[in-house]
Homo-oligomer: A and B are copies of this chain.
Amino acid sequence: MVDPTENESLIGAHTLKAFDEDLDQLRALISQMGGLAEHQIRESMRCLTQRDIEGARKVVEADRRLDELETETERRAIETIALRAPLAGDLRDVVAALKISNVVERIGDYAKNIARRVEELESAPAIEPLSLMPEMARIATEMVHDVLNAFVERDAETALRVARRDQAVDDFYNSIFRTLLTHMMEDSHNIGHATQLLFVAKNIERVGDHATNIAEMVYYAATGGRMADALNADDTV
């Protein structure tokens, strides 16, 4: 007869291994979503600056793939919670995966929103905000990239660094906002497309905000503590 204690610990080890595999799959799904969202933002910027209407249509269509991946992540996360009944720290990881996939899907929505404005901006003159925006988007996309790596690596320090970089995106936004207003005031012919560009800039700024939200979730999943406390500690140094 098998020693019941040994049997129990075997079951425990089996559940643990199954849980780790589940979590690895969730992380892989989120990496995949992140790669796709980054690509979508970059493509929407390329289409905007090169006035590629056909490319913009493809960005809009490709967003559906992100929606599907989010649904898949959600299904697996819920299944993991229901089947493995993870405790404390493990449960925090699964819930973080669930929430992060939702935020990445929203980041994809911003790429789609930007792509949808490309057609209306086809005849826009090459004003300087148009050349600043890809750089602003590059920083925001890098934040998304780094924070998702931080999630996979459970790296609270990188998450903190990502959150600190959001100020650069906000500075870009404020500068672009002011410049666009000036363009509108100088020539009322600029008002139509400058308004469209305002919304584009706002969308990129929101990508930075969302990367920061993910940073907070990663920080909490990795440490159980609030990132705001760590950032406030910064300020007092």
Contacts and interface: CB of A to CB of B under 8 A. Distances in A.
A185 B195 CA distance: 12
Given A191-B184, A195-B181, A78 B95 contact: yes
Contacts of A188: 184-185, 188
A192 interface: yes
A184 B102 CA distance: 37
A91 interface: yes
B202 A191 contact: no
A74 interface: yes
Contacts of A99: 102
Interface in A154-189: 181, 184-185, 188
A91 B82 contact: yes
A121 interface: no
A191 B181 contact: yes
A99 to B, nearest CB: 8
Contacts of A198: 195, 198
A78 B91 CA distance: 9
A86 B85 CA distance: 12
Contacts of A102: 99, 102
Interface in A56-95: 74, 78, 81-82, 85-86, 91, 95
A81 B98 CA distance: 14
A195 B176 CA distance: 13
Contacts of A82: 81-82, 85-86, 91
Given A185-B188, A188-B184, A198-B195, A74 B95 contact: yes
A102 B86 CA distance: 22
Interface of A: 74, 78, 81-82, 85-86, 91, 95, 98-99, 102, 181, 184-185, 188, 191-192, 195, 198-199, 202
15 contacts: A74-B95, A78-B81, A78-B95, A82-B85, A82-B86, A98-B98, A99-B102, A102-B102, A181-B192, A184-B184, A184-B195, A185-B191, A188-B188, A191-B191, A198-B198
Given A82-B91, A184-B195, 9 more contacts: A78-B81, A81-B81, A82-B85, A82-B86, A98-B98, A99-B102, A181-B191, A181-B195, A188-B188
